[in-house]
């Protein structure tokens, strides 16, 4: 009795765990992407599914990362025939764009994914949850152990909604784990492996402030625009991505808050060391963390009670009774392209090849009082602003302001911003003016029109189809 209690749900191998799940051909398996470019788990599971002879599986992953190229092999072998995700790195995206996958990829958002699970639109048969620490009954977290990655927020929805939940860890701890992010009552099986990920790549190096003067200028304009709009007062809340310009904007916002003596309420999203510093300094009172972007964030969430782990549902689900994103004063987002109606593409590159996805882009844009696109007006000789983006990732009506190094343009529906911005001496143009400015630098780009078959569908956070992505033949 005692012995089996100590063994709990631990399976001898991943193979045994998959067998115990009664996984069948045609079913959906799920993954989360907190291990980012260092994740071994998705690849290990697909390898094992291949060995076990499965076919026709659908992979529902919060994101497909650069390290997930073995997925391409699994598709070629017929093991995987469907993908649902919120983001897809070019390493897999290009293969999809070339028509590799039988079924259309379903792109959702970080909030739309849990919403689809909550409403039953999406279903997970077997969830594979990478945990940096687990006990033998599956009480687990991402905060302890050699592969610690911090928040496990995206996987919380999988644990609640999947029929069968397998926790995979490289750090088995005695029962009961005390810092529990996903509790045992939701977990069916536990697998102990040598390593769930490459620690050096789990926390990717994308999270440094840019040194590029153009990026710094955009960041400065962004911070000044937020202040000009009157948002930098006590209880200010905001989110940025982890790109260099976003981080520079966050740093500038912090500086302005210090100068104004303003104490912010919270910063949310993927959390970086820069935000941790602002928390520790008292510039913000708390962090709402669905994903840690770097080591500093992962270390902080483990020990600072004001650095709070949140589920994907609480972060952004339109099915939730309220969310963090709906409380945001400002969000700073990137774009590959932006249309003159302010609709944004973050899915495809200039050739129409898949190389990204919404992640929390659409969710935060919809929720925040001031949704800002901060991006260089020209990149690789291509203009940012186009008549209509290749792919609509985020509807234009949810974007309030575009900031570039040549000036900014507010969405006409936010005419109320005009006086604030110009009053602060900021360079304000119409989006058409900025478009012309770009085209004077780059020439008018040739209109690319893919006419291949549909390879992916972009599902808006509310569940409606926003756009489709078509095959590109090189």
Site residues (vs its own copies, CB under 8 A): 1-2, 5-6, 8-9, 137-138, 165, 174-176, 178-180, 183-188, 235, 265-266, 285-286, 288, 305-306, 308, 310-311, 313-314, 317, 320-324, 327, 329, 369
Signed CA dihedral, 108, 114, 116, 117: sign only: positive
Q: How many CA atoms lie within 13 A of 294 on its CB side?
A: 16
Angular region, 359: left φ>0, alpha ψ -120 to 50, beta rest: left
Quote the CA–CA distance of 189 and 131 in Å, as a whole number.
12
Residue 321 Cβ vs its own copies, minimum distance, rounded to whole Å: 5
Please answer whether residues 83 and 106 qualify as being in contact, where contact means their C-beta atoms are separated by less than 8 angstroms: yes
Q: Give the nearer residue to its own copies in terms of CB position, either 216 or 316.
A: 316
Q: Where are the beta strands (DSSP E) in 307-449?
A: 307-309, 330-333, 337-339, 344-345, 370-374, 378-379, 382-383, 385-386, 401-404, 407-410
Quote the CA–CA distance of 173 and 167 in Å, as a whole number.
13
Closest-CA residue to 344 (of 365, 367, 316, 323):
365
Q: Give the nearer residue to its own copies in terms of CB position, either 162 or 247.
A: 162
Q: Give the nearer residue to its own copies in terms of CB position, either 388 or 414.
A: 414
Q: Give the nearer residue to its own copies in terms of CB position, either 288 or 366.
A: 288
Q: Give the nearer residue to its own copies in terms of CB position, either 204 or 304.
A: 304
Q: Give the nearer residue to its own copies in terms of CB position, either 267 or 353.
A: 267
Please answer whether residues 85 and 64 qualify as being in contact, where contact means their C-beta atoms are separated by less than 8 angstroms: yes
Q: Give the nearer residue to its own copies in terms of CB position, either 154 or 406.
A: 154
Q: Give the nearer residue to its own copies in terms of CB position, either 323 or 343.
A: 323
Residue 374 Cβ vs its own copies, minimum distance, rounded to whole Å: 21
Task: List the structure tokens of 194.
Answer: 């040598």
Residue 8 Cβ vs its own copies, minimum distance, rounded to whole Å: 7
Residue 380 Cβ vs its own copies, minimum distance, rounded to whole Å: 38
**Per-residue exposure over 435-466, b if at least 16 CB sit within 10 Å of its own CB, e if not:** bebbbeeeeeeeeeebeeeebbbbbbbeeeeb
Please answer whether residues 254 and 240 qualify as being in contact, where contact means their C-beta atoms are separated by less than 8 angstroms: no
Residue 264 Cβ vs its own copies, minimum distance, rounded to whole Å: 12
Q: Give the nearer residue to its own copies in terms of CB position, either 325 or 346.
A: 325
Residue 325 Cβ vs its own copies, minimum distance, rounded to whole Å: 11
Place of tokens 């709990």: 8
Residue 348 Cβ vs its own copies, minimum distance, rounded to whole Å: 31
Residue 204 Cβ vs its own copies, minimum distance, rounded to whole Å: 27
Residue 206 Cβ vs its own copies, minimum distance, rounded to whole Å: 26
Q: Please name the residues in contact with 75: beta carbons below 8 A apart, sequence gap of 6 or more.
A: 81, 95, 100, 101
């Amino acid at each position: 009795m005692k012995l089996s209690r100590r063994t709990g749900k631990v399976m001898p191998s991943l193979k045994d765990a998959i067998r115990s799940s009664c996984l069948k051909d045609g079913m959906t398996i799920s993954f989360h992407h907190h291990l980012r470019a260092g994740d071994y788990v998705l690849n290990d599971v697909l390898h094992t599914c291949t060995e076990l002879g499965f076919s026709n599986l659908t992979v529902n992953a919060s994101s497909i990362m650069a390290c997930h190229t073995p997925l391409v092999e699994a598709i070629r072998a017929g093991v995987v025939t469907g993908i649902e995700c919120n983001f897809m790195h070019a390493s897999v995206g290009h293969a999809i764009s070339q028509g590799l996958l039988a079924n259309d990829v379903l792109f959702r958002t970080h909030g739309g994914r849990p919403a689809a699970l909550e409403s039953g639109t999406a279903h997970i048969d077997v969830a594979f949850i990478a945990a940096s620490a687990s006990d033998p009954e599956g009480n687990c977290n991402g905060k302890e152990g050699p592969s610690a990655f911090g928040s496990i927020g995206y996987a919380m929805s999988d644990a609640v909604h999947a029929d069968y939940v397998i926790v995979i860890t490289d750090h088995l701890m005695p029962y009961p784990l005390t810092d529990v992010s996903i509790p045992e009552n939701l977990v069916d099986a536990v697998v102990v492996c040598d390593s769930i990920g490459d620690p050096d790549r789990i926390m990717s190096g994308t999270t440094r402030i840019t040194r590029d003067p153009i990026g710094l200028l955009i960041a400065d304009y962004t911070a000044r625009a937020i202040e000009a709009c009157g948002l930098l007062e006590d209880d200010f809340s905001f989110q940025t991505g982890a790109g260099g310009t976003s981080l520079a904007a966050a740093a500038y916002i912090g500086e302005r808050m210090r100068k104004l003596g303003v104490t912010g309420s919270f910063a949310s999203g993927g959390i970086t060391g820069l935000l941790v510093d602002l928390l520790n300094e008292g510039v913000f009172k708390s962090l709402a963390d669905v994903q840690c972007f770097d080591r500093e964030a992962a270390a902080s969430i483990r020990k600072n009670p004001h650095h709070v782990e949140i589920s994907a549902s609480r972060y952004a689900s339109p099915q939730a009774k309220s969310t963090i994103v709906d409380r945001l004063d400002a969000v700073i987002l990137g774009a590959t392209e932006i249309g003159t109606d302010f609709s944004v593409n973050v899915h495809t590159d200039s050739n129409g090849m898949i190389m990204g996805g919404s992640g929390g882009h659409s969710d935060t844009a919809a929720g925040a009082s001031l949704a800002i696109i901060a991006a260089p007006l020209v990149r690789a000789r291509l203009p940012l602003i186009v008549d209509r983006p290749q792919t609509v990732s985020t509807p234009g009506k949810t974007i309030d302001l575009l900031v570039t190094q040549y000036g900014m343009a507010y969405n006409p529906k936010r005419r109320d911003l005009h006086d604030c911005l110009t009053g602060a001496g900021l360079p304000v143009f119409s989006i058409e003016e900025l478009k012309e400015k770009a085209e004077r630098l780059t020439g008018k780009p040739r209109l690319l029109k893919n006419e291949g078959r549909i390879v992916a569908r972009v599902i808006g956070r509310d569940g409606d189809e926003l756009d489709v992505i078509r095959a590109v033949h090189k």
